[in-house]
Amino acid sequence: MERRVRVRFAPSPTGPLHMGGVRTALYNYLFAKKNQGDFILRIEDTDQTRYVKGAEDYILESLKWCGFQPDEGPENPGKFGPYRQSERKALYKQYADQLVEAGHAYYAFDTPEELDEMRERLKAAKVASPQYNAITRNSMKNSLTLSEDEVNRRLASGGPYVIRIQIPRNEEIRFQDAIRGWVVVHSSNLDDKVLFKSDGMPTYHMANIVDDHLMEITHVIRGEEWLPSAPLHILLYRFFGWEAPTFAHLPLILKPDGNGKLSKRDGDRLGFPVFPLEWKDPETGAISSGYREKGYFPEAFVNALAFLGWNPGTERELFKLNDLVEAFSLERVGKAGAKYDADKTKWYNQQYLREKSNETLVELLKPHLAAKGWNVDAVDLTEMVDLMKERAVFVEDMLEGAYFFEAPSTYDEKTINKKWKENTPAIIEKLLQVLKGLKDFSAEEIEKEFKAFIEQEGLGFGAVLPSFRVLVTGLGMGPSMFRICNLLGKEETIRRIEAGLTKMNG
């Protein structure tokens, strides 16, 4: 029988979730849903020294905002719990012991000073990467070099010790990565990693393998930075006699300029967030910006993320979460790093903004209007957003329509300098008379009369429209002036033009 697909997102709560982490969660979610499987959230908090308060809540809230809720996790445990490694603590020791008994791991008693000494010695001997391995272990204090009595005495004394994996001396370790194909590493390049620490906690490697096995994980989809650990993990599966999951190591998200992994510093430098939600450092109080607070729609953020490393193989670019589930496959995830493009994410936001109904946009815009202290009942907001949405990337951009609530107090200088000529006041004065004469102040009627007027005067659009616009809105550009006038109403439009003429003449 085919095993039910089960994947996990396994972040460590050491700070806010980077957008690369969100993409890992996304691909796991998509793969699970595409294959009618389970998406599991497991919190890897065995390293107490790196624990950051609030980070776990941040992770949960980020996933919620993006719309990929775990099928099992600390908040909604299934039958494979607990879902926090710190709560599974009691479980790991027996597995470490099992490896020692089978001769795949050993106790090591070396003090930090002795470890430093070993590294110094190797460095002096020009060894490129000094490490505790198949060769050096022979001259260290461990259960392979000490007598059995001595080992038992040390263990019984309650002094500190660690358990290290015993990497085979001369072996090729191979596995097939779903994205990278065959990966082959020689065991001489691996070191005897610590599996169990003196503080009674397993290391990441140990806990990760035991939990993936116990939670019946079928596919491990994670960032490229974990590729170097994969051979060690393959060995652990073999030593335990467990079936290894399929591994898929995702490409890096690269900085927009140059090479290298996208970092928070790049975001600060180039002016975009690298975190899904705003984060306040509990220690320093420093704020890091987030996509949500910057006004991005989650579907735009998710759509943009999905394309950083994956593509559907067609020209289509707009995919909501459900469409992504439909289209996703690991075969279409590339090996090469994906350069982040902040403008593209904005473009996605613009597309999703345009796609929203005017009613929805009104609801989203209202709090922004209220924050300005404007009377939201004074303006037909549906018509306003219909006008403003074409030019907006974010909901907040529609605040450009401030002129629907307040007459302009200044006029765009560039427009005035370029368009306000000696004969402009006379032209505007005539236009004013045309507008005053209108019985029907609909956009169509204003447009018809405006066109008739400039034709009769022998003028082009450019000689009238910008000046007309700047008096009514204060700005040099914007949506249809005829619709703006209609929305403001005849009285207000006329009042603004008259006030403007007085100001410009004065």
Question: Which tokens is 32 given?
Answer: 């699970």
Task: Check binding of 497 to ligand GLU (CB under 6 A).
Answer: no
Closest CA to 308 of 9, 13, 12, 24: 24
Q: Cβ 226 to ligand GLU, closest distance in Å?
A: 5
Task: Check binding of 28 to ligand GLU (CB under 6 A).
Answer: no
Task: Check binding of 369 to ligand GLU (CB under 6 A).
Answer: no
Task: Check binding of 12 to ligand GLU (CB under 6 A).
Answer: yes
Our answer to whether residue 372 is catalytic in this structure is no
Task: Check binding of 224 to ligand GLU (CB under 6 A).
Answer: no
Q: How far is CA 30 from the centre of its chain?
A: 15
Pick the catalytic residue: 64, 89, 264, 430?
Answer: 264
Determine the interface stretch with ligand GLU among 9-17, 59-67, 187-195, 422-430 (rule: CB under 6 A).
9-17
Task: Check binding of 16 to ligand GLU (CB under 6 A).
Answer: no
- Alpha-carbon distance 322 to 82, whole Å? 29
Distances from the Cα of 318 to the Cαs of 180, 395, 397, in angstroms?
A: 27, 19, 22
Task: Check binding of 13 to ligand GLU (CB under 6 A).
Answer: no
- Alpha-carbon distance 307 to 15, whole Å? 25
Determine the interface stretch with ligand GLU among 10-18, 184-192, 419-427, 447-455 (rule: CB under 6 A).
10-18
Closest CA to 405 of 374, 381, 364: 374
**Closer of 232 and 254 to ligand GLU (Cβ):** 232
**Partner residues linked to 39 by β-bridges:** 7
| Sequence-distant (≥ 6) Cβ neighbours of residue 81 within 8 angstroms | 72
Task: Check binding of 226 to ligand GLU (CB under 6 A).
Answer: yes
Task: Check binding of 222 to ligand GLU (CB under 6 A).
Answer: yes
* Interface residue with ligand GLU, options 166, 208, 303, 349 (CB under 6 A): 208
Task: Kindly write out the interface string for residues 171-190 of this chain, putting x where it contacts ligand GLU by CB under 6 A and - elsewhere.
Answer: --------------------
**Closer of 10 and 472 to ligand GLU (Cβ):** 10
**Closer of 226 and 240 to ligand GLU (Cβ):** 226
Handedness of CA 332, 353, 347, 273 (dihedral sign): negative
- Alpha-carbon distance 424 to 68, whole Å? 58
Q: How far is CA 253 from the centre of its chain?
A: 10
Task: Check binding of 10 to ligand GLU (CB under 6 A).
Answer: yes
- Alpha-carbon distance 278 to 69, whole Å? 20
Window 242 to 301, contacts with ligand GLU (CB under 6 A) = none
* Interface residue with ligand GLU, options 5, 6, 7, 11 (CB under 6 A): 11
- Which uninterrupted H or E stretch holds 51? none
Distances from the Cα of 463 to the Cαs of 200, 412, 414, 452, 469, in angstroms?
A: 81, 16, 15, 14, 11
**Closer of 204 and 352 to ligand GLU (Cβ):** 204
Determine the interface stretch with ligand GLU among 4-12, 57-65, 184-192, 298-306 (rule: CB under 6 A).
4-12
**Could you tell me the end-to-end alpha-carbon distance of the chain, in angstroms, rounded to an integer?**
87
Q: Which residues are catalytic?
A: 264
What are the residues binding ligand GLU (CB under 6 A)?
10-12, 44, 204, 208, 222, 226
